[in-house]
Structure 1
Amino acid sequence: MPYYNGKWHRYSEAERREYGRQQKENSRQVWHQKWISKTGLKQERNWTDSMIKQFLSGKEESAGKINAYKITIIARVEKTKKFQAAMEQRVARQKKRAA
């Protein structure tokens, strides 16, 4: 005999999957409002491994299953002149390689 604790049996499999997908997306958005991962820095903000090591060494924290950086720290670092100079060099190198 199946275990009926709750009302899950009133919904179709597709409705349950959609609800689960929505819950996962909501929790993902909440996480991304506070944290950014190393992969996110590299893909979304054009950072390199050496820039991460130079500007964020020791600032990595546990954010659930992965280690990540707080958005506030990233914003503070990106406003510094030293970082802006490093990013300008990176963009110049990328343009030179593309040409």
Structure 2
Amino acid sequence: MGDSARLPGPITALWEWQYRGACMGMDSTTFFHPEGERGSARRRRDEGAKAVCRSCEVLEICREHALSTHEPYGVWGGMTEEERRAVLARRRRSPGEPVA
């Protein structure tokens, strides 16, 4: 095994914002759909998650994190997977465009 003592420590500033999220301590099923969830059930769960996000002090940081890491699952920063994919597609066509 290699000597991990030489590696840099974690940069907590990159993820510490998550401790301030309105979702902290909530059940993850609020933000991540169960296998096979579709239609009105999924829309209701997504809207409930977005309502939590609207009250969150780190909404913008969370959203940008999800976009920059291409987070494939769940509601992050008040956006669903589909909404994030659409923003990323627009950014590819128009670099520098602000988040919608």
Give the structure-2-normalised TM-score: 0.26
Structure with more of its chain in helix, by fraction = 1
When Rg is computed on C-alpha atoms for both structures, the one with the higher figure is 1
Structure with more of its chain in strand, by fraction = 1
Give the structure-1-normalised TM-score: 0.26
